[in-house]
Structure 1
Amino acid sequence: MEMPKYVTDYIQSWRDGKITLNEERVQLIEWLEEDILTMEDAYFDIEMIEKFIQFANERYFPLQPFQTFISCFVFMRYTEDETLVFDEFLIYMARGAGKNGFISALADFFISEEHGIKNYNVSIVANSEKQAKTSFVEVYNKLNNKDEYKEAYKVRKETIENIKTMSVFQFHTSNAGTKDGLRDGCVIYDEIHQYEDSTIVDVFASGLGKVADSRQFYIGTDGYIRDGFIDKIKERAKNILERQVSVRDDSLFPFLCTVNDEEEMHDSENWEKANPMFHKPLSPYAKTLLRVVTKQYRKLENDPSGYEEFVTKRMNLPKVDLEKNVTTWEKILATNQEYDLDGLKGRECIGCVDYASIRDFVACGLLFLKQNKYILPKELTYSYVCKPFADKHYAYSRDKAEGNNKKDHRKFAPIREWEEKKLLKVLDKESMDPFIVVKWFVDMRDKEGWNIKKIIGDNFRMEILRPLFEKEGFEVEVIRNPDAASALLAPRIELAFDEERIIWGDNPLMRWYCNNVLVEIGGNGEKKYKKKERVKRKTDGFMMFLYGLWATRDLEDFDVGTTLKALNSINF
């Protein structure tokens, strides 16, 4: 395989210590050298690579080594059928690393005569119109201000068309419902940290394949939405770099830039790991950017309020402010541990419920204590949601093709998906029927055979539920002051998360509940659990778990069933 100099030079620069790479890019080079660059049935389209680099250098700006390196894999093909080796690209790096400028040059090249594919339309998608137009406006300004381009392009405020190739570049906001039927050759997804699921990607991807060499680019810096699209595609990238899948099974090219850990941010020599623009010698753009980032870093000494933003955006390392969050996202993910459901049958458990509002959510669950671990099995948790609330705030009834669960270009919860997974049920009721809640616990005890020691909840709605539970023979405990309970339980909850002793199984609904919790610290240092957003970001499941945790003091950490069997086996 003839190797482009841009690939060999980049790799050699790292080996010579001229550039600094993070762990993921070191993995990338190892993977490329062992699995990709050794392929006998693939080649680099050197002519097309040179065309693009010359095009970008002359029309936009001199490409940096990492950009020419990525460019080579955009034009890598299989020998047999001329198809692309990589048709998806994840470009994940810190704010200011030149993602949009690189994409602008690529988009313009793809619709050009130099690329040479007719009707190779390019769409760029983002949550906001302002971000979606970033690269579009850069291309627009470049083409609209020079007479030499006016005969080759039709430049309009919403579309740019190359006259000879009839290829169109346009931008879109992420209103997935109106985009079916597009005939794109390339789709660029910007600000992917804001995508809460793959809905918008699925819709735009459905228009690909109608012209040759279809490609998708995912670009962005990390953000604060967890368990969303960016986490899922980072997991794909990890599987590729760890060689759990082959390039023929997943043709994503993963270019990930981030500091390896938070401690590295305190040495500016490491910033290049998150922002490859900071390689030496610095370009004029990089010098200006470095001054800005350095100033922001120094400001943190006197004003630490921007610390979370700096780590997340400038170092591209998702950062959770533990003074505002229950725990880190990694510790929330660590609740996905296996458990022996049948092995819990002989144990006592606490029935816990949060019934804070009768018009939106109710969360129920059975909590076990085993070997000092708090187990709330996915199969034994359930939520109920009133349909009017689900329709108003999560667009529950909207048809999937129109962007199910989208509201104001932002999805707060995939209610329908969770319902299909039997994690919740949407009730066609204006307000919650307390008998439905009580029946769930009765069924868990009488039909499923679970040994429920007591039911616990806060006093806000328990005046409604308590007589109903007691009528069914349940012992009921009421938490009179949930804020006081939160303050007392906060240290135990933090320690249990830190030691990974909280087990929910693979339960995205519980992870969502937990990630929505805002920790408020009072003047006396006591913590209270509130909501990050008053209406849409519900915390019912977490509060249900917290109430159950309060009552685990009444649980013995042993299997009652096993003890009874042992007693019965003794011949008295």
Structure 2
Amino acid sequence: MIAHVKDYIESYAAGKISFNQERIELVNYIKREVEPRVASGEIYFDMKQIESCIGYIEKWFFALDDFQKFIISFVFLYFKENKRNVYRKILIMIARGNGKNGLLSGIGSYLTTPMHGISKYNISIVANSEDQAKTSFDEIYDTIESHEELEKLFGKPRKSEIKNIQTKSLFKFRTSNGNTKDGLRDGAVIFDEIHQYESNKDVKVHISGLGKRPNPREFYIGTDGYVRDGFIDQMKELAKRVLKGEAKWNALFPFICKLDDVSQVDDKTKWELANPMFSAPMTEYAQGLFETVSEDYEDLEDNPSGRDEFMTKRMNYPVTDTERSVATHEELVATKRDFPDLHGRIATGGFDFASIRDFIAVGALFKIDGNYIFKSHSFVRKGFVDAFYGYSKPKEAINGKRQFAPIKKWEKEGLLTVLDEPSMNPQHVVDWFVRMRDEEGYDFQTICGDNFRMDIIKPLFEAEGFEVSWNDKFEAPLGYRVEVIRNFRAIDALLAPRIEDAFANQKVIFGNNDMMRWYTQNVLRRLKSDGNVEYVKKEETRRKTDGFKAFEAAMYKADELNNEELTDFYDNNAWFYE
């Protein structure tokens, strides 16, 4: 076995570096499938190519770590009989920041040179977005432009493609949904961001042109993501079968680095399982990256909503609970604290008026001592709560069936108003805010609501002196503004960190309002395939979320409440300025 492979494996055996389960299985695979074939002469490592590639990258790009030299060795593993490369598919899954793109920039650039020895060995790098696809391309472009000696080999690079003068090989970037896919004559294709691919449909199109040049290669690189049962899970399953000997032995070369268990994230010595750059001794770059990851980890104490992203991207350990409640039971219990005196306080308002046949919710949000205090009220239509919650029935008439919401109890507590109307009059919404402004003295900065049915409610607000705007451009002063949120679903991802961190740090106060806790408990936090959060109902009919959506609407302008915190500071420290 050649030194780059042998030394890397022996470092693990000697306890100098740590491997995750997939790399342990890779070692066993190499001993079972590769070593005997090398010993028999069936396959061989092309040392000239390996050393040339390593020397090329280290001269023009950057110094290589041992794990990168290990990977490069298997790029140039060939069958002795026909000189064909053993691995057509190479999978590299490592945590963010480890230099996957940089490594493929170096390898890809080398494969277009005379040292590789194949003319017109074109290479495409493919990603979902043009910006990501250009990451490796731009790195090669900048390297060539910075070295006159390389310009003699590649000529003056162009922004759309890089061409090697001697081999006529092209290096291009493409998007996975581009129009120029068919008829490609690539020698290799590099697929980046594979965690975003929902299927192998686009992959198949891009690799259809492979095989027209000798030794075709497919490189798949990325960190795990949020798309389940998609392309990346298919690749992981193939890797698992190859390592266990349940698939063709050379169907794929998998180099996968990740945590083995979620608990390992709290032990920084285990982070090298996900990022091999963190193995000792660390380079200067690795030390800086380790400090960055450490800061991200420490931020989770105050911003726990970032844990999904941290585990998935920094530890290459994808979250499995892509659907869960927006707040835990303990976090909801913590919202049951008394309100301070709110009279005359600065507030933002929120309302959910999506339906006029079941529930409407309104509320005022305050920020005091770092806490978000939400005072809310609901309007419910009698016909609806009769049909679905047994509102008008005597308690014994419910026949022991589950009571989804104690409407009558909440009505007695003043948390809601039951309206015996065929459809609820939107005037109730406007009247509540006017009453809170005029009678309670709430100093509303802005009131926010959904675009839905705003044509109905707009003239009612305007009749009370409010200005309604769809574009955050107002002539009216603070306190007389109603901002329309055009796409309410779109603000879920924007507000999720603020809302979830507030719950996690017990900074949300609903007071003695069990209805708000019920609303919030009914919200399902769903992680979409792009990593963004959306809030949906756990059940469409009975589990209402209107109060939470009103809370979210008010949180949309929560930054305006920071003035209240400053006012409190100056009021409480007035002696200092006297």
TM interval, shorter chain, is: 0.5 to 0.7
Task: Specify the alignment match of 1:53 in structure 2.
Answer: 54
Q: Within 5 A, what are the aligned runs for 1:26-425?
A: 26-39=24-37, 40=40, 41-154=42-155, 155-248=157-250, 250=251, 252-320=252-320, 324=324
What is the rounded CA distance, in whole Å, between the counterparts of 2:107 and 2:527 in structure 1? 39
What is the rounded CA distance, in whole Å, between the counterparts of 1:210 and 1:182 in structure 2? 9
Q: 1:481 to 1:48 in 2, by over 3 A?
A: farther
Task: Specify the alignment match of 2:8 in structure 1.
Answer: 10
Q: What is the identity, as a one-letter code, of the residue corresponding to 2:32?
A: E
Please identify the structure whose Cα radius of gyration is greater.
Answer: 2
Gaps of 5+ in 2: 327-383, 389-400, 407-495, 504-514, 544-578
Q: Deviations over 1:376-421 (max 9, x none)?
A: xxxxxxxxxxxxxxxxxxxxxxxxxxxxxxxxxxxxxxxxxxxxxx
Q: 1:4 to 1:529 in 2, by over 3 A?
A: same
Q: 1:46 to 1:531 in 2, by over 3 A?
A: same
Task: Specify the alignment match of 1:509 in structure 2.
Answer: none
What is the rounded CA distance, in whole Å, between the counterparts of 1:239 and 1:95 in structure 2? 25
Q: What is the identity, as a one-letter code, of the residue corresponding to 2:517?
A: N
Q: 1:325 to 1:87 in 2, by over 3 A?
A: farther
What is the rounded CA distance, in whole Å, between the counterparts of 1:220 and 1:6 in structure 2? 23
Give 1:302 deviation, angstroms.
2.2
SS in structure 2 of the partner of residue 324 of structure 1: strand
Q: Is residue 528 from structure 1 mapped to residue 522 from structure 2 by the alignment?
A: yes
Give 1:542 deviation, angstroms.
8.8
Q: What is the identity, as a one-letter code, of the residue corresponding to 2:230?
A: G
SS in structure 1 of the partner of residue 226 of structure 2: coil
What is the rounded CA distance, in whole Å, between the counterparts of 2:94 and 2:227 in structure 1? 16
Task: Specify the alignment match of 2:396 in structure 1.
Answer: none
SS in structure 2 of the partner of residue 187 of structure 1: strand
What is the rounded CA distance, in whole Å, between the counterparts of 2:199 and 2:535 in structure 1? 20
Q: 1:25 to 1:531 in 2, by over 3 A?
A: closer
Give 1:315 deviation, angstroms.
0.6
Give 1:246 deviation, angstroms.
2.7
Q: Deviations over 1:8-54 (max 9, x none)?
A: 00000000111110000000000111111111211111111111111
Q: What is the identity, as a one-letter code, of the residue corresponding to 1:163?
A: I
Q: Deviations over 1:437-473 (max 9, x none)?
A: xxxxxxxxxxxxxxxxxxxxxx99x99xxxxxxxxxx
What is the rounded CA distance, in whole Å, between the counterparts of 1:546 and 1:242 in structure 2? 48
Q: What is the identity, as a one-letter code, of the residue corresponding to 2:97?
A: G
SS in structure 2 of the partner of residue 186 of structure 1: strand
What is the rounded CA distance, in whole Å, between the counterparts of 2:325 and 2:34 in structure 1? 42
RMSD over aligned Cα atoms: 3.6
SS in structure 2 of the partner of residue 293 of structure 1: helix
Task: Specify the alignment match of 2:549 in structure 1.
Answer: none
Give 1:126 deviation, angstroms.
0.5
Q: 1:262 to 1:158 in 2, by over 3 A?
A: same
Q: 1:319 to 1:152 in 2, by over 3 A?
A: same
What count of residue pairs does the alignment treat as equivalent? 366
Question: Which is further off, 48-57 or 520-529?
Answer: 520-529
Task: Specify the alignment match of 2:335 in structure 1.
Answer: none
Q: 1:247 to 1:320 in 2, by over 3 A?
A: closer
What is the rounded CA distance, in whole Å, between the counterparts of 1:6 and 1:533 in structure 2? 41
Report if aligned partners of 1:483, 1:528 keep a CA contact under 8 Å in 2: no
Runs of 4+ in 1 over 6 A off after TM superposition: 479-484, 518-522, 536-542, 544-547
Q: What is the identity, as a one-letter code, of the residue corresponding to 1:309?
A: E
Report if aligned partners of 2:46, 2:76 keep a CA contact under 8 Å in 1: yes
SS in structure 2 of the partner of residue 217 of structure 1: strand
Q: What is the identity, as a one-letter code, of the residue corresponding to 2:296?
A: Q
Task: Specify the alignment match of 1:416 in structure 2.
Answer: none
Q: Within 5 A, what are the aligned runs for 1:431-446?
A: none
Task: Specify the alignment match of 1:557 in structure 2.
Answer: none
Report if aligned partners of 2:108, 2:123 keep a CA contact under 8 Å in 1: yes
Q: 1:186 to 1:528 in 2, by over 3 A?
A: same
Q: 1:483 to 1:220 in 2, by over 3 A?
A: farther
Report if aligned partners of 2:239, 2:254 keep a CA contact under 8 Å in 1: yes
Q: 1:545 to 1:80 in 2, by over 3 A?
A: farther
SS in structure 2 of the partner of residue 213 of structure 1: coil
Report if aligned partners of 2:192, 2:220 keep a CA contact under 8 Å in 1: yes
Gaps of 5+ in 1: 327-458, 464-478, 485-517, 548-572
Report if aligned partners of 1:308, 1:320 keep a CA contact under 8 Å in 2: no
SS in structure 2 of the partner of residue 152 of structure 1: helix
Q: 1:272 to 1:523 in 2, by over 3 A?
A: farther
What is the rounded CA distance, in whole Å, between the counterparts of 2:190 and 2:45 in structure 1? 22
Q: 1:164 to 1:309 in 2, by over 3 A?
A: same
Q: What is the identity, as a one-letter code, of the residue corresponding to 1:190?
A: D
SS in structure 2 of the partner of residue 280 of structure 1: coil
SS in structure 1 of the partner of residue 219 of structure 2: strand
SS in structure 2 of the partner of residue 151 of structure 1: helix
Report if aligned partners of 1:483, 1:529 keep a CA contact under 8 Å in 2: no
Q: What is the identity, as a one-letter code, of the residue corresponding to 1:66?
A: F
Q: What is the identity, as a one-letter code, of the residue corresponding to 1:274?
A: A
Q: Deviations over 1:350-384 (max 9, x none)?
A: xxxxxxxxxxxxxxxxxxxxxxxxxxxxxxxxxxx
Q: Deviations over 1:244-281 (max 9, x none)?
A: 11325x2x100010010110011111000000011111
Q: Deviations over 1:65-122 (max 9, x none)?
A: 0000011110011111111111111100100111011000011101111111100001
What is the rounded CA distance, in whole Å, between the counterparts of 1:22 and 1:76 in structure 2? 24
What is the rounded CA distance, in whole Å, between the counterparts of 1:276 and 1:187 in structure 2? 24
